[in-house]
Structures are given as C-alpha cells and as structure tokens.
Amino acid sequence: MAEIQEEAIVNENGLNFIEQEIKADLEAGKNGGRLNTRFPPEPNGYLHIGHAKAFIMDFGAAEKFGGTCNLRFDDTNPQKEDTEYVEAIKRDIHWLGYDWGDRLYYASDYFPQLFELAKRMIREGKAYIDEQTSEEIAAQKGTPTEPGINSPYRDRPVEENLDLFERMNKGEFEEGAMVLRAKIDMANSNMHFRDPIMYRIIKTPHWRTGDTWKVYPMYDFAHGQSDYFEGVTHSICTLEFVPHRPLYEYFVKELADESYCPRQIEFNRLNLTYTVMSKRKLLQLVKEGLVAGWDDPRMPTICGLRRRGYTPSSIKDFINRIGYTKYEALNHIELLEHSVREDLNKTATRVSAVRNPVKLILTNYPEGQTEMMEMDNNPENLAEGKHQMPFSRELWIEREDFMENPPKKFFRMSPDKEVRLKGAYIVKCTGLKKDEEGNIVEIYATYDPESRSGLPGADRKVKGTLHWVSVPTAVQVEVRDYDRLFAVENPSAEEGDFRDLLNPDSLIVSKNVMIEPWLAERVKAGDHYQFQRLGYYTVDPDTTPDHIVFNKTIGLKDTWAKEMKKL
Ligand code: ATP
Ligand code: MG
C-alpha cells in the first residue's frame, strides 16, 4: 500500500488485464460469446471517484466489446439504504456519460428466488439454522492456521431447519436470535468457507419491499446469484474480494452450468492521497457537518468533484492514466489535478477577476472616460474569439501585485516602476495613500497613451503584466478557494481518529472579489473560467443574480508536470 503507482499497465493493444481476460473469454466462445458486466453500488452513500474507477471499467468494457452493462443496486441491508442515494448514483453515472438503458436492477428483485434457493440448499443438507450469538460463531471460526469448531446446531434435521427459516422470515424471532449458515467446511484454509452466514434477521422495513421480508441475504450469497439471474458474464470488483471468489463460485455452481456461468475478476481499488475513500468516513464527515454536504467541493465524491469544477473527461483521463492492476496502490491527487488543469486549459474562457482588490487611480486619465479593450477568450484557441472589457481612470488590481519597498526580483508594481496592464496600457506608479493604520487604500499612477495594446508604443519592454478590473463596472462576487481536505498524505494509514487529520485551512472564502461585467452577465452554474493569473474557477450552484459564487477548481501552476520532468 505504501508504494506509489502511476503508470497504467496495458498490453500492446492498449488493453488492461481485465479487458484481455474478457477478450479471451469472448474468443473462446464462453457464455455463448456474450459480454454482460454490471455495476453494483450499495445505495448507502454517494459515489466517489473510486466508484468511478469501477464503473468506467464496467460500462467501458461493455462499450469496447459490444456488450451490455447493468446497473444493479445492491439493496440487501435496509438499515443503511435510502432512495436519495439511488437517485444521486444514477445522476452521477449519467454525468460521466454512461447509461444502463433498460438494465436497471435491484438485488431486492431477487429476494424470492434467493429465498427459494436457500430452502433448496436446506433441503439438500447444505445449510442450517444456527442459534448461537454472533460472538459464539466468531469464536468458533478458528484462524487461518487452526481449524474452526462445528456449531452444535450443524446437524439439525432438515425439517426443523426449514421450519425455523420460514418462521424467521415471518418475524417470529428477534434480530440476532438465529442465522442461516451454509454447511461447507469448518476446517477449510479459506476462512470464507467455514460455514458462512447466508441470511440474517433484519426487522427494519425495506424501502422497496416494505415488510415482506424479515430475513435478508448476506453479500456473498446475494451477489453471485444476482449476477446469475441477470445473465452477467463478468463480475468485476476490487481486490478485497479475491478471498471471496471461491465462495462466489461455490454458490454460483448451485445454479450455473457449462453453457453459462458468471465469473469474478478483481482489480486494485483507487486510493488517493490527502483524502479518504470509505463511504462510512465520508458519511461521517457529512453527518457531523465537517463538510458542507456530499457535494462539498473538497469531497472526493463525484458530485463534489463536479461542484468543484472537475469535468467528466478529466476524471476519465485520470482513471485511464492510473489504469487497472492486481496490486494495491496509492495515487497522487496531483495527477487528478493535472488532468483537470489540462482539460480546462483547452476549454475555459479567460476572464479578469481581482481576488484581493486595491484601487489604482490613473491620475492623467480623463475622468468619466471609458475605453473598450479587446480580450482573447482563449489564447490556446483563437477561434473562440474575443470579448470587450471596459477600461477607466479607476481600476482594481491585486493587493499582492503592489509593494512599496520591493525586493530586487519583484517585477510587479512599485513606486516609479513601469508595468503593463494586460490588454490595455503601460502605467507608472507615482504615489499612494494610506489610512491611519498604515494600510494602503489607493495607489496612484500615470498611463502612457502611446502604449495602448496593439499600438507600436506597446512594444516597449516592461517586465511585469498585471490583470485588472475597471471600478465603475466591476461586480463584487464571492470566491471559495480550496485546499486539500486532509493535512496528511495518507490519512487512512494514520493511527487515531481520522477527523483529527482534517486540514483546518481547506476552505477560504473571499466575499470581496471583483469581476469584469462581461463575465457577470453570463455566469451559469457549472461553467468554467480561467481567472487570469489566479487559476480555474467554476460557477457554484449557490449563485443567484444578486450573489455570484465561484469555486476554485485548481491553480494554474502544475507541480505535477514539473515532478514528471524530473523523473
Ligand atoms: P465501502 O466504502 O463501505 O467499502 P463500497 O465502496 O464497497 O463500500 P459499494 O457501493 O459496494 O461500496 O461499491 C460498488 C462497487 O464499487 C464495488 O464493486 C466496489 O468494488 C467498487 N469500489 C468501491 N470503492 C472503490 C475504490 N476505491 N476503487 C475502485 N472501486 C471501488
Ligand atoms: Mg461494497
């Protein structure tokens, strides 16, 4: 887990190891040459980027090889599940560009078949009702090197097992009073074979089936069977299911034959630096108000990334870069950031915004005059044209772009030095005004009328170029800047409470940011812009006509590309 893996592992045809397996199965004519994958989220939380890695594989392989992919909600635990999550999951998969068509399923659809199969296994002496407590059952499990102990209920007569199972489901017994266990082998070296639990009693009503059922199947009994009922051929999941695979095959054999049998293939989970990926922990952050919700732009959830300004193509690009392997890894969040930066660099319109404004007054510029300056919408793609930006005697510039007593290498504005105002004129600072506390409140400068952008006088060499916004037409907006959610690289590897590792400075809100009017007129939630010199910003859905809000998606500086060059 400590190792850091960045390179995708694909063969000469660009296929990862799972796709190679699929291709081989198809060529061998298995399952009648059919490919059917499935994505099986449990609706107990929102999807995160790790899930995206999983469903990009599931839907992607189906697309690549002309197969189909089912969306199946693994709704086998009514205590934790909710329709809010179902809707959010569908929305997020669609947003990434995938669709299940008419292949929307629920594990709860199979409760009747699963119940019948369980009864058949009881009749065939392959399952029994155990009345021990979960502690007793756990204590008898043994260890990988020591065999377990048979339950005293293991040889209960079939009729009694059947009767108890039916009565369990009628609600005659309390939760935890008894379970249905598969009768396999308490000495097996695979711990999952030591009489695994198939069914437990849960009395919470189910959001789809109401109180029809009082017994619910465990993952291992439900999953492979659901795959079978749906005609799934390749059941792709993460590496922690490797030791479950023999049990998957054991249960599936109860149903399948040579003509059709689903198969499980495992790949490495996505783990990202500076974040956590467990749904339980993410839920805790939301429930305890440590973030603003599932879609908080600092969250690794798909809706959080969307709100932050990540694009579907940047997420897919990242997943493609990290690839699918058979060993655990920890991926750098900088690589994800690199993907979105590259994407937005191509597409985001360049605009002017001043994050920490101070007033610059051009003392020789006529009062009341306005000139319209032409600004490129995207110098990376000139076909995107230009827009106009008003210029006047009073401008907002960044406070950090001025220094009264600058060090040698400071090329921005300081007394008696010339700097260029982007797309406008060259100006020279002539003075400043401070308040009683010594804070600079106004900076004065003169402009050179001959230096207007586009005129020969503009060609003069000037070291610094500043962005600016004209005061009379500026629109004040709110900007939310984000940093890593966690202060440590691998929060899941640390001892103690993960909540203590949160980065206290992960959100900085600036309510006095000035933007140019052209931008203010067209903001629409979800649109991406590059604020010149500041970074990529995305319009937040909280935006109203009177209160515009931007989220910082990512800065301009690509530390990742720099690191890669060093290698
Ligand atoms: P938990 O966080 O409690 O372990 P889960 O993430 O396994 O839950 P599911 O809804 O069961 O939640 O996941 C659906 C699918 O997504 C599973 O097939 C699972 O293997 C896959 N998946 C979950 N997390 C990741 C991850 N970090 N990287 C890749 N795939 C993942
Ligand atoms: Mg799971």
* Active-site residue (options: 30, 90, 279, 307): 279
pLDDT at 1: 45
What pairs with residue 513 in β-bridges?
Answer: 477
Pairing of strands 386-391, 371-376: antiparallel
Query: Token pair of 8, please?
Result: 């995708």
What whole-number distance in Å separates Cα of residue 212 and Cα of residue 208?
10
Atom of ligand 1 nearest to the CA of 45: 10
Nearest atom within ligand 1 for CA of residue 47? 10
* Location of structure tokens 């690549």: 64
Residues of the chain with pLDDT under 70: 1-8, 560-567
Judge if the beta carbon of residue 42 lies within 6 A of ligand 1: yes
Tell me the C-alpha distance between 69 and 54, whole Å: 12
> 160 CA distance to ligand 1 centroid (A)?
38
269 is catalytic: yes
Answer whether 52's CB lies under 8 Å from 302's CB.
Answer: yes
- How far does the centroid of ligand 2 lie from the alpha carbon of residue 293, in Å? 21
- Class of 17-269 in CATH: alpha beta
Find out whether the beta carbon of 278 lies less than 6 Å from any atom of ligand 1: yes
CA of 80 to the centre of ligand 1 (A): 15
Q: Find all residues with CB under 8 Å of 250, minimum gap 6, and list them.
A: 182, 184, 193
Nearest listed ligand to the Cα of residue 268: 1
CA distance 385 to 374: 10
Q: Is 47's C-beta closer than 6 angstroms to any atom of ligand 1?
A: no
Tokens of 357: 């404004």
Instruction: Tell me the domain boundaries of the chain.
Output: 17-269, 279-349+477-566, 353-467
Q: How many Å apart are CA 16 and CA 13, to the nearest integer?
A: 9
| CA distances in angstroms from 251 to 196, 219, 240, 403, 419, listed in the order given | 11, 11, 18, 73, 74
| Beta strand extents in 33-191 (DSSP E only) | 36-39, 68-73, 104-106, 127-130, 179-182
| Gap between the Cα atoms of 306 and 290, Å rounded | 19
The 10s digit of each residue's pLDDT in 216-266 is: 999 999 999 999 999 999 999 999 999 999 999 999 999 999 899 999 999
In 352-382, which positions are buried (b, 16+ CB within 10 angstroms) versus exposed (e)? Answer: bbbbebbebbbeebeeeeeeebebebbeeee
User: What is the SS3 assignment for 56?
Assistant: helix
Contact 142, 148 (CB under 8 A): yes
Q: In terms of C-beta density within 10 A (0-12 exposed, 13-18 middle, 19 or more buried), how is residue 238 classed?
A: middle
CA contacts within 13 A on the Cβ side of 98 = 30
Residue nearest to atom 14 of ligand 1 (CA): 41
**Spatial CB neighbours of 243, under 8 Å, sequence gap ≥ 6:** 190, 191, 192
At residue 562, the pLDDT reads 67
245 assigned to active site:
no
- 89 CA to centre of ligand 2 in angstroms: 14
Cα 28 to ligand 2 centroid, rounded to whole Å = 31
Which ligand 1 atom minimizes the distance to the CA of 271? 27
Q: Which atom of ligand 1 is nearest to the CA of 240?
A: 20
pTM above 0.85, yes or no: yes
Superfamily per CATH, domain 353-467: Ribosomal Protein L25; Chain P (2.40.240.10)
Nearest CA to ligand 1 atom 15: 41
Homologous superfamily of the 279-349+477-566 domain (CATH): Ribosomal Protein L25; Chain P (2.40.240.10)
Q: CB-hemisphere CA count at 13 Å for 94?
A: 8
Q: What pLDDT, on the 0 to 100 scale, is given for residue 557?
A: 86
Contact 134, 175 (CB under 8 A): no
Q: Residue 560: its pLDDT value, please?
A: 65
Q: Does the annotation mark 524 as catalytic?
A: no
CA distance 96 to 3: 29
| 40 within ligand 1 shell (Cβ under 6 A) | yes
Does the fold of domain 279-349+477-566 match that of domain 17-269?
no
